[in-house]
Structure 1
Amino acid sequence: MSVRSVSPRLSRRLMLAGAAATALSSAAPVVLGRKVRLAMWGLDGHPGDITKPLAQYPDVELVGVQDWNQTAARKTAGSKAQVFTDARRMLDEVKPDLVAINNNNGERAAAIVECANRKLHVMAEKPLALARADLDRVKKAVAANGIKLGMLLPMRLDSEFLALKQIVESGEIGEVIQISSQKSYQLGERPEWMKKRATYGSTILWIGIHMFDLMRWTSGREMKAVSSFMGIAGDLRQGEMENSTASSFRLDNGGTATLHMDYCRPAMAGSHGDDRVRLAGTKGIAEYMAATGVTVMSKTRKPEKLTQLPPAGAVFGEFLEHVYLGKPTALPLSEIYRLCEITLGAHEAALSGKVIPL
């Protein structure tokens, strides 16, 4: 397919929503109006999503870092924050206002509940829990203590996926009736916690959650039922983590959606991952892949590549402004819980071999 470049037409609705989700679109410091003491519970996930935006938020002070890897903890802590091996001792001693939880997947729900019971706001790595019972405990603790809970889904605020959402909202490709998506990563050498089901969960729970979010976020469609397969095949093995998965969904309008994931991307590829989303609508198709960028074709225009995209946001910066400035959030708690339920459903479908209602 040949494409020609064109600037996208930004919808007013997307721009208004994007204003709350683009904390890094300006280099100017953001004043929160009070000092915020931040502690980091674990560094197993993506702690960079927490630390990178901090330069723009001078009111946020990193006061404590806990991790089993003390070398990594000291590096993250720098010269001012205290370093701990025991997370609860850290909470007792540094008395944070906000905790970023990046421990392994199997221990995350308990950490969230602990912080909620101390009435501390939480930004957690995903998923929140590996089982529905643990997710229910998180919900009850958050509700009982009135804290704010966020989840690290940074791809929702990437320019490319904001652009796909904009195209759908403009009505140009009509009603989305089919979604195809992909995640392909290099396997490399994985940390020990990812090699064990008790601390990893599954590849569907760990990285599938990103794409399930993007499929819903960009298309505006809801998922009603799911079937999945996952397994370990070939000689690309890292303990119990699956290297191949496939999930299929029935959408709320009778359409369908699919996600396939693998850890087969070779080191020679030049980048760690290859994420793709294709939205097929009744009037056209919009899609993103790294090789071609964001492209769109419809009844009113030939295939085109978008060259000017909405500004990207930072999920932690957006959360800070939501909690301390009262700004709207692009990722409300109801969306977080719904996404966790969908992801658990896809995981359960793979384990049971059944179609799981959502």
Structure 2
Amino acid sequence: MAAAPLAFAPPLRPEVRLPRKVRLGLLDLEGHVGEVISRLPQTPDIEVVAIAHPDAGVVKKQMRNPLLARAKHYTDWRRMLDQEKLDLVSVCNANGPRAAAILACLDHKLDIIAEKPLALTRSDLDSIRARLKEGGTKLGTLLPMRFDSSYLGLKKVAGELGDIINISSQKSYKAGSRPEWMRHYSTYGGTIPWIGIHMIDLMRFTSRREMVEAFSYKAHISAPEGIGDMENTTGTIFRLDNGGVATLHMDYCRPESAATHGDDRLRLAGTKGVAEYMAATGVTLIAEGRKAEVIRDLPPSGSVFLDFVEYAYNGKPTALPFEDIYRANLITIAAEEAAVGKRIVKV
């Protein structure tokens, strides 16, 4: 939701120092912009110099944060790009116009950390990829779940499962009252692109398997007024590169009385065992010759923004390379194409 506070404060890592000052512009304040703003105390060499958002009231609230208080406000992000001397832009606008904003930033030779998905069509995604290959800029995307301790732990034990041939995943959220741009397909782009991309990335990341075909259904059934035209139920089946099967089902049916906003689950089934994660049980593993166990020794959680900053300005390897970003976006687009066209779509 627009400019919403983080649901929790992630543990702070030591400061990340950069070889020079980096001037950051915030291009809108939708979605996961909190992944950027919450980490500013750890990046003293990054200065937010400008914020582009059409609503002055929203920006005024954000400027209560001392790290944003000196930023110049623009109602038009194009003017911000033209007039400010920026190094890095956080692109967190609506899904529909996001690709155009990313391409404009690339035209200005700026590094980008963007909300997901990068684009809603193959042509826009390929344009971004082609422009990026010209060099001189770095592009990351806000897929923070890949850096979560539980999914890092699931990836760690996946090597004990043999050949992974079945993957099942779930995302279930409270519907709530959504911002205006999410209530219209032209600016929202669909529930599969908006939240499905998280789990599509995690299925690839943890299993090390590739998705080669997709078929989907989606629907808007007896949905509350607060979500407009958003689909509140979807289901996608993928064929894996080894002939296996992956499934993703999503809904906005989680009751408001639930203790948490979302219920995410991921299960990996292989020829030698099964591992899965859900909040109620944590990461569990049952493998050949072993009793079922809860995996408690999990890797520490990371930060998608700090990972990108270290990669872009300190030359460190990234845990989220662009080819993974591209594939997650491409598979997501294929899954949405399948739902719209009611056909199997090759990735």
Query: 1:16 aligns to what?
Result: none
Contact map agreement 1:127 1:206 (CA 8 A) in 2: yes
- Asked whether the 8 Å contact 1:25–1:311 carries over to 2, the reply is no
Gaps of 5+ in 2: 1-9
Shift of 1:145: 4.9
1:252 and 1:181 map into 2 onto residues whose CA distance is 18
Equivalent in the alignment of 2:14:
28
Whether the 8 Å contact between 1:106 and 1:201 is mirrored in structure 2 is: yes
Gaps of 5+ in 1: 1-23
Q: Distance in 2 between matches of 1:139 and 1:306?
A: 38
Partner of 1:199: 187
Percent identity reads 53
Decide which of 281, 286, 289 is 1:300's aligned counterpart.
289
* Cα RMSD for the two superposed structures: 1.3
- Matches of 2:69 and 2:257, distance apart in 1: 38
Distance 2:229 2:167 in 1: 29
**Any idea what the Cα deviations from partners look like across 1:51-92, whole Å, max 9, x if unmatched?**
111111110011111112222223334321111111122223
- Aligned partner of residue 247 in structure 1, secondary structure: strand
Structure-1 residue corresponding to 2:147: 157
What is aligned with 1:81?
Answer: 71
Which residue, out of 233, 239, 243, partners 2:221? 233
The amino acid of 1:125's aligned partner reads E
Q: Give the ranges of 4+ consecutive aligned residues of structure 1 lying more than 6 Å apart after TM superposition.
A: none
- Separation of aligned partners in 2, 1:290 and 1:254: 29
Question: How far 1:93 sits from its partner (Å)?
Answer: 2.8
SS in 2 for 1:114: helix
User: Does the CA contact (< 8 Å) of 1:39 and 1:96 recur in 2?
Assistant: yes
Deviation at 1:25, TM superposition (A): 7.2
Secondary structure at the counterpart of residue 253 of structure 2: coil
The amino acid that maps onto 1:132 is R
Q: Determine if the alignment matches structure 1 residue 106 to structure 2 residue 96.
A: yes
Contact 1:113 1:142 in 2 (8 A): no
Contact 1:63 1:82 in 2 (8 A): yes
Distance apart, 1:26 and its partner CA: 6.4
- 2:272 partner letter: K
SS at match of 2:169: strand
| SS of residue matched to 1:277 | strand
Write the distance in 1 (CA, Å) between the matches of 2:223 and 2:232: 10
Give, as a single letter, the amino acid of the residue that structure 1 aligns with 2:35.
Answer: D
Q: Distance in 2 between matches of 1:256 and 1:272?
A: 28
State the distance in 2 between where 1:162 and 1:28 align: 20
Q: 1:101 to 1:216 in 2, by over 3 A?
A: same
User: Residues 131-280 of structure 1 correspond to what in structure 2 (within 5 A)?
Assistant: 131-169=121-159, 172-237=160-225, 238-280=227-269
Partner of 1:126: 116
Number of the residue aligned with 1:11: none
* TM-score, normalised by the number of residues in structure 1: 0.90
User: Partners of 1:235 and 1:180 in 2: how far apart?
Assistant: 25
Equivalent residue number for residue 274 of structure 2 = 285
Rounded to whole Å, the distance in 1 between the matches of 2:83 and 2:192 is 37
If the length of structure 2 is used for normalisation, what is the TM-score?
Answer: 0.93
Q: Deviations over 1:291-343 (max 9, x none)?
A: 11111111132111122210111001100000000000111111111111100
Worse-matched range after superposition: 121-130 or 81-90: 81-90
Instruction: Number of aligned residue pairs: give it.
Output: 333
Question: 2:327 & 2:39 partners in 1: Cα distance?
Answer: 27
Letter of the aligned partner of 1:48 in structure 2? Answer: G
Mapped contact 1:236–1:264 kept (Cα < 8 A): no
Q: Does 1:57 align with 2:43?
A: yes
Larger relative contact order (Cα-Cα within 8 Å, sequence gap ≥ 6): 1
Query: Kindly tell me: are residues 264 and 115 of structure 1, through their superposed partners in 2, closer, same or farther at Cα, counting changes over 3 Å?
Result: same
